[in-house]
Amino acid sequence: MKFMRIGDVGAERPAVLDAAGTARDISGIVADIGPDTIETLTERLAGVDLSGLPALAVEGQRIGAPFARPRNIWCIGLNYSDHAAEAGMPVPSEPIIFSKPGSTLCGPTDPILTSPNMSKIDWEVELGIVIGTPALDIAPGTAMDHVFGYVAANDVSERVWQLERGGQWMKGKSYPSFCPCGPWLVTRDEVPDPQALGMELSVNGEVMQTGTTATMIFGVAHIVEYLSRFALLEAGDLIVTGTPPGVGMGKKPPRYLQNGDVVEMSIEGLGAHRSPVRARV
């Protein structure tokens, strides 16, 4: 199944795509898609004739993040060896973990917001994992049982704040709008091999990143099992899993986002983003 949320900020209606690709309103079955409902979401829809549900217009409507604000957004750093090389950092022997606040989550066409204090705003196309059932100290080999599905995500970063201001990476990852996601949350059964997905990102029509999840250092199952050793992964949590090379700080000379730029990105089977960059009012 492919889930999405359509409507203005704070008034999104949950929807599922039917076999013809029409968005069907499921608000009569579930109030929203998120931490409080995702664990039983597919069960509630089992046996429902989707064609009998109200159709929702998508064209001309805002597409929200495909799930409501998660309790946690977990991030894996330097998870592609060629990205580690362009960053001038060693390939990690274990996953590097950091986090983003839930307030960074936004839709795939929402603006990436900037402030006058920013000077090195960067992009990172990433595969996102959405947790379906809680995971803590899970047994090896059971990780995928806890995965609800996948989403295309952009781990936007302010590199000065991340790398030049001391402290943890989270400082440069936490501004509102710094985690565009969507347009769809695609259930695990529709992505038979999450380690074989093509990914691409462009800025103003110029391709910056191309890659595949096949080159991840730590795959989806390993990441979920590994994180569960250190923290409770809760239903609805998002895990963004690292980016292939081609980020702005790796360009020669470095290139960063400016107000007025448009970031477009896609991951095979998970849909596409088109995010304008603009100053926060």
Q: Give the pLDDT confidence of 25-74 residue by residue, as tens digits.
A: 999 999 999 999 999 999 999 999 999 999 999 999 999 999 999 999 99
223-270 pLDDT per residue, tens? 999 999 999 999 999 999 999 999 999 999 999 999 999 999 999 999
* Banded model confidence at residue 167, pLDDT cuts 50, 70, 90: confident
Question: Which residue in 183, 173, 5, 209 sits closest to 100, CA to CA?
Answer: 173
276: phi then psi, degrees, rounded to nearest 5? -75, 150
> Count of residues for the chain?
281
Question: Which residue in 217, 246, 212, 268 sits closest to 123, CA to CA?
Answer: 246
Question: Which residue in 153, 130, 99, 156 sits closest to 224, CA to CA?
Answer: 130
pLDDT-wise least confident of 10-14, 88-92, 249-253: 88-92
175-220 pLDDT per residue, tens? 999 999 999 999 999 999 999 999 999 999 999 999 999 999 999 9
| Angstrom distance (rounded) from CA 122 to CA 127 | 17
Is the pLDDT at 96 greater than 90, yes or no? yes
Query: Which H or E element spans position 200?
Result: strand 198-203
Q: Kindly report the number of other CB atoms within 10 A of residue 189's CB atom.
A: 9
CATH (residue range 63-279): 3.90.850.10
Query: pTM score, two decimals?
Result: 0.96
Contact status, residue 90 vs residue 145, Cβ threshold 8 Å = no
119-149 pLDDT per residue, tens? 999 999 999 999 999 999 999 899 999 999 9
- Can you spell out the DSSP letters for 72-139? -EEEEES-BHHHHHHTT-PPPSS-EEEEE-GGGEE-TTSPEEE-TT-S-EE--EEEEEEE-S-BSSPP
Is the pLDDT at 159 greater than 90, yes or no? yes
Q: What percentage of residues in the chain have a pLDDT greater than 90?
A: 94
Is the pLDDT at 90 greater than 90, yes or no? no
pLDDT of 14: 98
pLDDT of 222: 97
pLDDT of 24: 98
Ordered by start, the domain boundaries in the chain are 63-279
Q: Where are the alpha helices (DSSP H) in the chain?
A: 41-45, 81-86, 159, 220-227
